[in-house]
Amino acid sequence: MKLPRRTIILLITAIAATLLAVVNAQLILPQMGKANIKDLKDPRLVIRKSARMLEVYNGPKLVRSFSVALGFSPELDKELEGDGRTPEGEFYVFTKNPKSRFHLSLGLSYPAPDDARRGLAAGLITPVEHTAILISAEEKGMPPQKTGLGGEIYIHGGGTANDWTDGCIALNNDEMTELFEAVPVGTRVKIVK
């Protein structure tokens, strides 16, 4: 039986992502051990969707990695409210929520200005929402959270057994506690394929 080309590509992508995650877990994590991330001077987070990894940097130095789960439809960039996709791009932590229903959470500044431009051009958001997103980015505040582009994207606890969130990034609760204590509001976050 011959499989369609798209199916073959999806299978190869899934296998490559799994292998990359295994290599990261076997090579990078043992070298770093359980590095203390409480005293970060220049924190920065990088989330690698294909590897299902969240990397914690102190300036240019990688100091810790965590396995993560993503939205229930993680392959593509987020476009719409309810699409189950985890967004890609440059964000910042705009809030820390110690009373999250998923243990603890860090709010990410999605939608960002690039998303706002795309959303306005596509008629997904109003000019008022567009302006509010741009102003929130300038002020490093909370962007509108209920838009046609989606919103309420958080890094939170709840576990990493599978991709189960509505677009958020999930960690195991003990690791989320460690990250929550180490990361201040304003921390830069980059989410890549």
Give 93's strand partners. Answer: 108
CATH number of 5-110+150-192: 2.40.440.10
167 neighbors 150 (Cβ within 8 angstroms): yes
Distance, C-alpha 15 to centroid of its chain: 21
Global confidence as pTM: 0.81
Identify the band that residue 17 occupies on the pLDDT scale cut at 50, 70 and 90: low
**Residue 83 C-beta-side C-alpha neighbours within 13 Å:** 16
> Does the structure show a pLDDT above 90 at 16?
no
Identify the band that residue 179 occupies on the pLDDT scale cut at 50, 70 and 90: very high
pLDDT of residue 29: 43
Distance (Å, whole) CA 2 – CA 20: 27
pLDDT of residue 2: 73
Q: Residue 184: CB partners within 8 Å, gap ≥ 6?
A: 43, 93, 96
pLDDT of residue 28: 44
Report residue 126 as tokens. Answer: 């109003």
Identify the band that residue 6 occupies on the pLDDT scale cut at 50, 70 and 90: low
Distance, C-alpha 169 to centroid of its chain: 5
Identify the band that residue 135 occupies on the pLDDT scale cut at 50, 70 and 90: very high
Percent of the chain beyond pLDDT 90? Answer: 80
Identify the band that residue 130 occupies on the pLDDT scale cut at 50, 70 and 90: very high
In this structure, the chain runs to a length of 193
160 neighbors 175 (Cβ within 8 angstroms): no
71 neighbors 79 (Cβ within 8 angstroms): no
Q: Which of the pair, 4 or 137, is modelled with greater confidence?
A: 137
Report residue 62 as tokens. Answer: 């990688």
pLDDT of residue 12: 65
Q: How many CB atoms lie within 10 A of CB 171?
A: 25
Distance (Å, whole) CA 125 – CA 55: 32
Q: What is the mean pLDDT of residues 146-165?
A: 96
